[in-house]
């Protein structure tokens, strides 16, 4: 299995472990992560969750071969199930971003509570490049965090965001040397063992509650547009070009 899940010393660690494919995510991996989050949420001994990847790579995003066989981010899709589990988790979620994070790999960070980046990490949102649109609240949350102009550079032009810049923009808590990253993230996750879990839960709900209705509304609109875009000639050309390792050719919409 490409998702490793272990609960130890009050922390449920979920590791994306598919280095041969740059931790690209399949439908089965989304299902496994959703199950791991739900299990950790129901386990009273777990005080925090930690999501991480293999050294040097967090996730390259969707495995396009797998995604094209079962496309979509609708309510019944595995990726929607994973994101729903993440959004609804009432325990603190810590992310240790071990390297590049692409697409959904960045989107999921917007719904974590503490985000720590390797100083070599880069965040990339290539939705427009693939003929698609942002997903799961990123079109709302990124402009609120970064401002419209910087969010447009990331979302419309697909420009990468480096680790130090991500911290300055409020996308991450800190950037650390790769050798220190996981130990630091785990240490921060373990701090919740000494805190009252009810107060942590209620405080997280308050932190997220001010934007939750707006996020849910944005997700619905994004999902409808994303699904429509998947059927577009632009998306088909972009994904075929990616799989064929060539430059895509787009014609203006009529």
In the chain the domains, ranked by start, together with CATH numbers, are 3-179 (3.90.226.10)
Q: What is the pLDDT of residue 210?
A: 85
Place of tokens 């325990």: 91
Prediction pTM value: 0.95
Mean pLDDT, the chain cut into blocks of 10 residues (254 residues total): 94 97 96 98 97 95 87 87 97 97 98 98 96 96 96 96 97 97 98 98 94 95 93 90 88 66
Distance CA 54, CA 182 (A): 10
Cα 119 from chain centroid (whole Å): 18
Residue 253, pLDDT score: 59
């Amino acid at each position: 299995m490409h998702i490793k899940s272990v609960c130890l010393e009050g922390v449920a660690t979920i590791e994306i472990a598919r280095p041969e494919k740059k931790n690209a995510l399949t439908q089965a991996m989304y299902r496994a992560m959703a199950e791991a989050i739900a299990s950790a949420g129901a386990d009273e001994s777990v005080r925090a969750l930690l999501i991480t990847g293999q050294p040097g790579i967090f996730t390259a995003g969707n495995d396009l071969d797998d995604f094209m066989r079962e496309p979509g981010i609708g309510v019944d899709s595995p990726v929607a199930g994973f994101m729903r589990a993440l959004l609804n988790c009432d325990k603190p979620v810590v992310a240790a971003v071990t390297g590049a994070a692409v697409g959904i790999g960045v989107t999921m960070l917007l719904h974590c509570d503490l985000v720590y980046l390797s100083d070599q990490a880069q965040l990339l949102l290539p939705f427009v490049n693939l003929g698609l649109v942002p997903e799961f609240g990123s079109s709302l949350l990124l402009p609120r965090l970064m401002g419209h102009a910087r969010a447009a550079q990331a979302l419309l032009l697909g420009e990468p965001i480096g680790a130090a810049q991500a911290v300055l923009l409020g996308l991450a808590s800190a950037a650390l040397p790769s050798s220190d990253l996981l130990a630091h993230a785990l240490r921060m996750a373990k701090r919740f063992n000494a805190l009252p879990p009810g107060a942590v839960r209620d405080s997280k709900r308050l932190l997220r509650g001010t934007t939750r209705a707006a996020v849910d509304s944005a997700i619905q609109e994004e999902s409808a547009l994303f699904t429509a875009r998947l059927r577009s000639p632009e998306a088909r050309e972009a994904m075929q070009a990616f799989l064929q390792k060539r430059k895509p050719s787009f014609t203006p919409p009529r």
